[in-house]
Amino acid sequence: MLGDGTFDVLVVDIDPDGDDDHRIELVVTAGQHKGSVVPFTLPDRVSDPWSLLGMPFSLVCDGNTMRLGPPEPVAG
């Protein structure tokens, strides 16, 4: 498990499960957990999960809850 925090991730795989939800796999791209693969289930309101393949997101973990958000801005 990643523990609580915010992690930079990329969508690396999509597996439609047939129940209108889509299981995706995310890979952590930075920090201590770089390279870790994390399963995540998208809600059925995502109409085209394939469009997410290769896209960056922020994964926010808080206790037993995970949510995807827009990528964190890069300071520069």
- pLDDT above 90 (res 7): yes
CATH 1.20.5 applies to domain 5-69: no
Residue 19 pLDDT: 65
pLDDT in tens, 24-47: 999 999 999 999 999 998 877 777
Q: Is the dihedral of CA 60, 76, 31, 15 positive or negative?
A: positive
Helices (H), the chain: none
Measured CA to CA, the distance from residue 60 to residue 58 in angstroms comes to 6
Residue 33 pLDDT: 94
The pairs formed by 24-30 with CB atoms below 8 angstroms and a separation of 24 or more are 24/49, 24/52, 26/57, 26/59, 28/2, 28/59, 29/56
Indicate the SS3 state at residue 28.
strand
